[in-house]
Every structure is written in structure tokens, then in C-alpha cells.
Amino acid sequence: MSRCLLVFALIVPFAAYSQKVPKQSQVNIQKTSLSRDQEMQLGKQFAGQVEREMEVVHNPDIEKWLNQIGQNLAKTPQANAYPYYFKLVNDDSINAFALPGGPMYVHTGLLKAADSEGEVAGVLAHEMSHVALRHSAAQISKQQTYGTLFQIVGLAAGTLTADQNGQCGMVCQITQAGTSLGQNSLLMKFSRGYEHDADLNGARMMSSAGYDPIQLPQFFEKLEKTQGTAAEPKGLALWMASHPATGSRIKYVSDDIQFYPQRTYKASTGDFARIKKIVATVPPPKPQPGKLIQPKENASGRTTVPAGMKDYPANGFSIAYPSTWQAGQAEPGGSLYVVPQGGVSKGQNGGVELVNGAMIDYYVPQAGAGSTNLDASTKEFLDGLQKGDPNLKTEKSQRVQIGNKTALKTRLTTKVSVQQDPDQVVYLYTIARPSGLWYAALAGQKSKMSDLDPIFTQMAGTIQFPD
């Protein structure tokens, strides 16, 4: 009996001790119905939107430095072998984000807020971990919106926004699901659990690349301490909202580090101070076309538009259109379409073809937005259109006043893919703006122009610019 008690006494302390042995936290790659190819296609699509809405800083020194750090991290096993690339965007708010499949964008404000290259590497590793762990793909898959995203250009007419019966169409569904690039986006905002895993995977990625992993949580917590103070950097509230605190980051990353192989962290380009000085000289950002055609946030629209019309107050202009028509973008970052039911169809190249209605956007001349000249840029734009459309014929442009701006009005004729009624008339209005050549193409099948002509004249009369 005493021997049994002795054996039991020896086993119990051993069992208690074995339960206290620390175990490294597990980080899981999320399951998703999206394939990696779909993920990369989606990232490429939204990268186009980013670069129409935000100004990419084209500086060889910065690009080389950013990609040197990023590609060093991308070679680690924790990066999950995605084709990452890295670009700097001109925005003084503190932010960085990675899109599905690997495109990554760093704000100038983040580099200004960082005190070391390791802090920058930590943010990159954290954001890359959202890609590596397939967080965006999992969220989109759960919302079942990816099917809509990949069918955008194949949808029939009348699906740009909610229709007259209140049915939510293409762009409406995407917006409601949060797949735009805002702070509440499925692509940008993650749960506390996902943020926790991105911290741990990012720290492991840093360690594998030779950076001190503790700099990742230290930078996050440094930013937290400045929130609500006079020293709070621009955009910090948005950064904290999209990177929720998950307890003491320093503690749980420190707990994780004890499982890493012993090594000396020496990774550094040695160029951080020089790059930070270059970033400080980047001039303020210029408004980008993709942002200017989007509806102005919280704008109620003008009350002076003609009866039977509703207003579309965009960031760069305003236009009114018949209340039975619909307005929206056929794809993220794409042109604005304002059309009646049946106004767009699937084009021969797989894109959206305007049949009846309006398409509005900006054309950036080959020499850049700063070189926009009304006559020369309009000619360059028309020459490009004619090269892509052998049926396009142009008449002599006329100078007119649109929204207190000097504009060129050019009448065009072409053919659409509607077999029973292919002839189309287009009134193209072009105006030189700081961000490029603003244009509105008001188009209709020739047989319908007697009805559309007065509508187009009325719409043109409602166009206004904020300056």
C-alpha cells in the first residue's frame, strides 16, 4: 500500500509539470474556396484600382530599397510563396496593405512614422502574413462575393446598381459586401484572431529573414501610446481601427520568440536614414482619376437639378441623370457608367460595351497629367480610340462651355455589337483638368437618338466642377 502511494506521489508531480511545458502557438493558413490563381487575379484587379485612386511614388532609390526588404521577407517559408511586389503610395496617413495574391502598398506616412528599417520590415511582414495565411481570400469566400467579382464583365445590362425594383446588382453587391478598398473592406480589415496570427507569422517571417522580430510588436505598441495625444500622427485612428489590439503584442510575440532558432539579427540595407530623407521631400499627392469619379462621401447631391433627374456628386465633378437610369462602375477602379435599363452589354473583348447612356472617366496623356492640353490631349485620345475601333469616324470638334469650363464637343459615329441596330452616335465632351483629360461620352443607338438627344443636352447642362 505504501509503495502504491509513493508511485502515485511521483506520478502526480510529473503530470502537473508536463502540463506546464510551454507550447508554441499554432498559426493556420485559412481554408477558402478561392484557388491561388483566383486570389492572384483578384489582387491584380484591385491593384489596378489602387493605382487609379492613389499616387504611386516613382523613385528608383525608394523602389529598390522597399523591394530589397520585401523580397528578403518573401523568400522565407512563412511568406507561403506568393509573388509579392512592393510600391510606395503618396499618402501621409500611417498605413500599409497587401492585396490577395501579393501586391503590397506602403504609405509615405508609415515611413515617416518609423524609426528604423526593422520597424518597416515588421509592418511589411505583418501585412504579408495576411496574404500568406489567406485571410482576405477566406473572408471573401465566406461572403460568397468572389463569384460576383469574377463575373463582372459578363453580366447583362441593368446590373450596375440596385435596379428600379430594388434588386441589388453587380456593383451594389460588391459595395454591400465591403470589397471596395475602404477601411471596412473585406480586403483590409481583419478580426482580432487574424491580426494575432499575422503578428506571430510576421515575427517568424522577420526572424527567418534576419530581422529582430520584437520590432514588429514594439512599433505597433509605440503607435498605440501616441493615440489621443498631441503627438498623434496623421491617420493613426484609422490604422488602429484596422489593426485591433489583441492583448499585449510584445508579450505574446516574446513568448513565441523563445521557440525560434538561436541567431543574431543583422539584416539591414543600411539605407533607412537616406530613404527617410528622400520620402520627406515627396510633394503632396495629386488627385487621382480613380478617386475623382467615385461618389463623394456623405454628399446628399444638389437640390437644383431638373425635375425627374437625380444627382451624382463625385469627388471631381457632379452630373445629373434621369431618375430611372442607374450609375455605377462595372469593375473596381473602372469608368463610371450612367445608363438606362439595357444600356450596357458584354463587349467582344470581354469588357463592358456602352450601348445607350454615358461613360465618364479621365484620360491621362502619354506625357503625364501635368501636360494636359485640351486640343492636343483630345486629339491624342481620339487617335487612340480610332486605332482600337476601325468603325469610328470623327467630326470636327467644337468649343463649348460645360460647367463654366472650356470644353471640346466632338460628334463620333461607330458601330456596337447589337446586330439588329448597330449604328451608334457619340457626343464626346473633353475638358482639361489637373488630373488629366476629363471626358464624358454620351452615346446612343442611331434609331434612339430622337429620344436621347434632349436627355443628353439636359445632362450636359448639369455638369459642374468644384473649382
Whether residues 269 and 418 fall in one domain = no
DSSP class of residue 396?
P
495576411: which residue's cell? 130
Q: pLDDT by residue (tens digit) across 187-207?
A: 667 888 999 999 999 999 999
318/391 same-domain check = yes
Domain annotation covers residue 448: yes
Residues 275 and 301 placed together within one structural domain of the fold: no
In a domain? residue 121: yes
Pick the last residue of a domain from 280, 312, 336.
280
pLDDT bin (cut points 50, 70, 90) of residue 385 is very high
CATH code of the domain containing 454: 3.40.1000.10
347 falls within a domain: yes
**Structural domain containing residue 210:** 36-145+186-280
- State whether 383 and 267 are in the same domain: no
Residue 12 has what pLDDT?
Answer: 52
Residue 164 resides in a domain: no
Percent of the chain with pLDDT over 70: 84
Same domain, 369 and 251: no
Verify that 377 and 438 share a domain, yes or no.
yes
Give one DSSP letter per residue of 192-243, joined into a string.
HHHHHHHHHHHHHHHHHHTS-TTHHHHHHHHHHHHTTSTTPPTTHHHHHHHS
Q: How confident is the model at residue 172 (pLDDT cuts 50, 70, 90)?
A: very low
Confidence of residue 168 (pLDDT cuts 50, 70, 90): very low
Same domain membership, residue 85 and residue 125: yes
The structural domain count of the chain equals 2
Q: Is residue 156 part of a domain?
A: no
399 vs 429: CA distance, rounded Å:
10
10 domain residue, yes or no: no
Quick one: how many helices (H) and strands (E) in the chain? Answer: 16, 15
- How many alpha carbons lie under 13 Å from residue 382 in its C-beta half-sphere? 24
Up-side HSE of residue 370: CA atoms within 13 Å toward CB?
2
Kindly indicate the confidence band of residue 369, based on its pLDDT and cuts at 50, 70 and 90: confident
How far apart CA 429 and CA 146 sit, in angstroms, is 35
Least confidently predicted of 39-48, 116-125, 152-161, 232-241: 152-161
161 located within any domain: no
Q: Which residue, of 260, 280, 300, is where some domain finishes?
A: 280
The domain boundary, picked from 257, 280, 303, lies at: 280
Say whether both 135 and 257 belong to one domain. Answer: yes
Mean pLDDT of 427-452: 96
Residues 276 and 304 in one domain: no
Q: Are residues 413 and 450 in the same domain?
A: yes
Would residue 4 count as lying in a domain? no
Residues 50 and 196 in one domain: yes
What cell was used for 150?
A: 469574377
Per-residue pLDDT for 348 more than 70?
no
User: Cα–chain-centroid distance for residue 301?
Assistant: 25
pLDDT at residue 408 greater than cutoff 90: yes
9 pLDDT above the threshold of 70: no
DSSP string covering 170-193: HHHHHHHHT-SSSTT-TTT---HH
Mean pLDDT of 131-154: 66
Lowest mean pLDDT among 30-34, 184-188, 360-364, 377-381: 184-188
User: What pLDDT, on a 0 to 100 scale, did the predictor assign at position 347?
Assistant: 64
Region 314-323: mean pLDDT is 96
pLDDT at position 165 is: 39
- The length of the chain is 467
| 321-335 pLDDT, tens digit each | 999 999 988 776 788
- 155-158 contacts: CB < 8 A, separation 24 or more? 155/346, 156/345, 156/346, 157/339, 157/341, 157/342, 157/343, 157/344, 157/345, 157/355, 158/326, 158/341, 158/342, 158/343
Do 326 and 243 lie in one domain? The reply is: no
Measured distance CA(107)–CA(103) in Å, rounded? 14
